[in-house]
Structure 1
Amino acid sequence: MADFPPPDTHKRTGQRGADKSGKVADFRYRSPSQSAKRKRGQGRNSRPASSAAHEASAQNTFTNKPSHRPHNRKQAYAALDLGTNNCRLLIARPSGENFTVIDAFSRVVKLGEGLAMSGRLSDAAMDRTLAALGVCADKLRRRNVHLARSVATEACRRASNGPAFIEKVKEQTGIALDIISAEEEARLAVLGCHVLLEGGEGPAVIFDIGGGSTELVLIEPGDKVPRIIDWESVPWGVVSLTDTVGKSDGDKDHRLAIYAEMRRVVTESFAAFAARIAERSSNPDTIRLLGTSGTVTTLASLHLQLPHYDRREVDGLIVPSDSMRAISTMLSEMSPIERGELPCIGSDRSDLVVAGCAILESIMDIWPAANLGVADRGIREGILRSLMAADAEGDQCRQNLRDTR
């Protein structure tokens, strides 16, 4: 097959949203049910204690003017993540050291469909996305959100008409999307899911397979939070890789050839990062791996043989890496119709899941941990934690000023 250059190989700097923030406390979900996971999942499933602080972005983007009523920690906060394939919204209230979700929305919008070849967001993709964002805007208004941040990632970073689309979204929905850098995307993903890391003292890689890019972050345990050692973002996600290499259809030989080409393309993009982390990845028994994406949650559902997707069963699960490889191989050999008939995949994901498997296997090649941790959380949760923590820090500063008067 022909060689395909990555859609965008240069490092991105100086973009909106790329600023780093101050320290942010770790607000997290209540621990998911462990009993079912111990019965149905395999591998070690211990976790580190709750962390206290982590650097992440606390830049606040408002859909409406903030409320001027007296501050109440029970007020709602919102995080909106517009990716290459999905539009996701999460609205929550602080609850002690945790937070409680009060509303959520997720829709496959395929914003980046065709972007790898055209370099532009198509009219149809923008219309689908605007419709989904209109639903999000209604929810934000009805829930009387106190603070919100809305971010856009790879599709809007790369599209030549991405900034124009952002302006159109603001005009039509009132939502002010912030196009964040790949580095900020990686940081928010780590902030959102690192509490699910398998217990241990060895280094770990946390990764996020998106629609248009994949972020990998090498971390080491810290006193209370992991320390970021290195990171990489490659412009291959389930949409961009499928659009560039091709769909996994046709006869079995063609499907296997497509999968092999996907693996080659992604492995080449990972090569520099793989070389940098090679020395730390030498002991599969001590290194750890945690993934947040539709790919890993879908494969985890197949591992558990769930009849339908259940976040409570999947979020926080530890799965043997060999099982994830076996499922990836199985899916790469199946026809689109066969994949679409599997629980938790369906026709919408039957094409894209193969690209996700290729990316996942390439990650496990360069970081051969015995087990893979699965997270159904990421950027949105990272945003919520940063918003809540920054707001709490502001409250404390105001209280300190009052106490000194």
Structure 2
Amino acid sequence: MTRVAGSVYAALDLGTNNCRLLIARPSPDGFRIVDAFSRIVRLGEGLSSSGRLGEPAIARTMSALAVCRDKMEARGVGRTRLIATEACRAAANGPDFLAQVKDRLGLDLEIVDRETEAFLAAAGCAALADPRAKAILLFDIGGGSTEIVWLADCCPDTGRKGLHDRVRLWTSLPLGVVSLAEKYGGQEVTPETYQAMVDHVAAELADFAEEAQTEMRCDNFHLLGTSGTVTTVAGVYLGLTRYDRRRVDGLWMCSDDVDKAIDHLRGMSYGQRAGNGCIGSERADLVLAGCAIFDAIRQAFPSAGVRIADRGLREGLLMQMMSVDGVWRAGAARNGTGS
């Protein structure tokens, strides 16, 4: 975590599939976004078979990180936290890669563990939980791992509890859209292949699902999902010809709506997925693996509805840094995200 005097903050999340940057200033109700950047880099491409980050993936990622560096310099960022997740955790040459980033670009990235990643996802999304719910299941489907958090005490009367007090259970599955698609194939996915992916995820999820059986639920229990998978499902459900975050972030979908959207995605050819404005050619071979993970979670934790979040680790990082710095007045809202 880098501390430099200034009121402009930057959070960078380097994952298995994406490199994402968010630059923001504090505001009374959270923060105001100043700049943002996201690029698919597939840093973890081939990692599941080789155990190493490949040179083409490293080159793509270096290019994206250079853009991030330039944006942070142009915006006069004074406070940063730059994290790397599953690809760098798992790769034998992950630390060497980050040393290259430091040497060539001057960016100091830290590899965070799975618990930290799960809590940051919860910090970034928890504000979208239904305040009437005694508990929700929050999940983040990544490129190389999937974090799942059982979050309790969502009502306003308990809103002052710290996040760690509200997390009852959490897990991190060692699979994501990239690793699952590489194992089963992502371009032509038959019904049998899709079911095999769902079954694979369900087996990984079984112990956590059993542990959660003892947790209290209520009529307002729901899922809260963040990731490219869930936002794509939402975009397809809305019939968007071009992705629109303003319409997706915070969207409620009932279980039947999710079923229909996923069925629609499964009925598309690879070419149709590549040509869809909410998917594109860079994610066309990954989206069905993500849907399989989504379906396995929904089967293990049935609920009437899912809330869609187009926010996550970066927002969690920003809120955490600003909270530590005490940028808000006493009693100010600290769970929202401005835009």
TM-score (norm 1): 0.76
Structure 2 residue aligned with 1:383: 317
User: Residue 125 of structure 1: SS of its match in structure 2?
Assistant: helix
Does structure 2 conserve the Cα–Cα contact (< 8 Å) formed by 1:248 and 1:255?
A: no
Match of 1:232 among 165, 171, 185: 171
Structure 2 residue aligned with 1:278: 213
User: Residue 381 of structure 1: SS of its match in structure 2?
Assistant: helix
User: Residue 349 of structure 1: SS of its match in structure 2?
Assistant: coil
Q: Spell out the pairing of 1:87-126 with structure 2 (5 A cutoff).
A: 87-126=19-58
- 1:281 positional shift: 7.6
User: What does the per-residue CA deviation read over 1:179-203, in whole Å, with 9 as the maximum and x for residues that have no partner?
Assistant: 0001000000000111011232331
Asked whether 1:61 is paired with 2:24, we answer no
User: Residue 346 of structure 1: SS of its match in structure 2?
Assistant: coil
Asked whether 1:193 is paired with 2:128, we answer no
Cα distance in 2 for partners of 1:354, 1:393 equals: 41
User: Residue 281 of structure 2: SS of its match in structure 1?
Assistant: helix
User: Residue 110 of structure 2: SS of its match in structure 1?
Assistant: strand
Q: Spell out the pairing of 1:113-262 with structure 2 (5 A cutoff).
A: 113-221=45-153, 223-224=158-159, 225=161, 227-249=166-188, 255-262=190-197
Structure 2 residue aligned with 1:355: 289
User: What does the per-residue CA deviation read over 1:14-50, in whole Å, with 9 as the maximum and x for residues that have no partner?
Assistant: xxxxxxxxxxxxxxxxxxxxxxxxxxxxxxxxxxxxx
Does structure 1 conserve the Cα–Cα contact (< 8 Å) formed by 2:28 and 2:328?
A: no
- Indicate how the Cα distance of structure 1 residues 394 and 363 shifts in structure 2: closer, same or farther if over 3 A, else same: closer
Cα distance in 2 for partners of 1:97, 1:333 equals: 42
- The aligned length equals 323
Asked whether 1:374 is paired with 2:308, we answer yes
Asked whether 1:263 is paired with 2:208, we answer no
Structure 2 residue aligned with 1:11: none
Structure 2 residue aligned with 1:86: 18
User: Residue 56 of structure 2: SS of its match in structure 1?
Assistant: helix
Does structure 2 conserve the Cα–Cα contact (< 8 Å) formed by 1:281 and 1:367?
A: no
Corresponding letter in the other structure for 1:145: V
Structure 1 residue aligned with 2:232: 298
- Indicate how the Cα distance of structure 1 residues 282 and 77 shifts in structure 2: closer, same or farther if over 3 A, else same: closer
Cα distance in 2 for partners of 1:342, 1:268 equals: 31
User: Residue 348 of structure 1: SS of its match in structure 2?
Assistant: coil
RMSD (CA atoms): 1.9
Structure 1 residue aligned with 2:336: none
Q: Taking every aligned residue pair, what percent have the same amino acid on both sides? A: 47
Structure 2 residue aligned with 1:24: none
- 1:338 positional shift: 2.2
Does structure 1 conserve the Cα–Cα contact (< 8 Å) formed by 2:134 and 2:216?
A: no
Unaligned runs of 5+ in 1: 1-59, 397-405
Corresponding letter in the other structure for 1:159: A
Which has more radius of gyration? 1
